[in-house]
Amino acid sequence: MAEISLRRARTIIRKTLDHGKAAGMKPLSVIVLDSGGNPIAFERSDGASPGRYQIAHGKAYGAVMLGMPGSAQMKRAEDQAYFIACANGALGGALVPVPGGVLVRDGKGRLLGAVGVTGDTSDNDAAAAKAGIEAAGLEAEV
């Protein structure tokens, strides 16, 4: 397996949204990016604010382009703010370096892409992404 199929991306999104609902989270939005940083699928829950595509995208895009999940990006931003600010500039201003940008790997550890979740607290967003990825039989690096 070297790519996330659309079928599997749908499963990730549904299971992420199910996790959020079951846990009483606010309405979530979820994107799945491929290993090149390009969108495969996105869904925004009813009631979520209109800018959620950009936030979900930014979380996942930074994760896959830098090979660092949101938690690691956030730590780097806290340790060395100008690095993340400048990496953001170099990558077109799209990054959202907080938890909820989660790397997706197959069983052999190969990077397949990333999932970005937004809508509740960053940690809850990341937990929902992890649940969705694992429900699809893949491995999550939060």
Per CB under 8 A, residues contacting a second copy are: 2-3, 5-6, 9-10, 34-46, 48-51, 53-55, 57-58, 64-68, 74, 77-78, 80-98, 111
CB of 23 to a second copy, least distance (A): 18
Closer to a second copy by CB, 95 or 140: give it. 95
Round to whole Å and give the CA distance between 75 and 57.
19
Q: The tokens 């989660």 sit on which residue?
A: 102
Q: Where are the alpha helices (DSSP H) in 23-99?
A: 52-66, 70-79, 81-90
CB of 7 to a second copy, least distance (A): 8
Round to whole Å and give the CA distance between 21 and 50.
19
In a 3-state reduction of DSSP, which class is residue 12?
helix
Closer to a second copy by CB, 96 or 133: give it. 96
Closer to a second copy by CB, 94 or 135: give it. 94
CB of 141 to a second copy, least distance (A): 12
Closer to a second copy by CB, 48 or 127: give it. 48
CB of 26 to a second copy, least distance (A): 9
Give buried/exposed letters for 70-101 (b at 16+ CB in 10 A, else e): bbbbbebbeeeeeebeebbeeeeeebbbbbbb
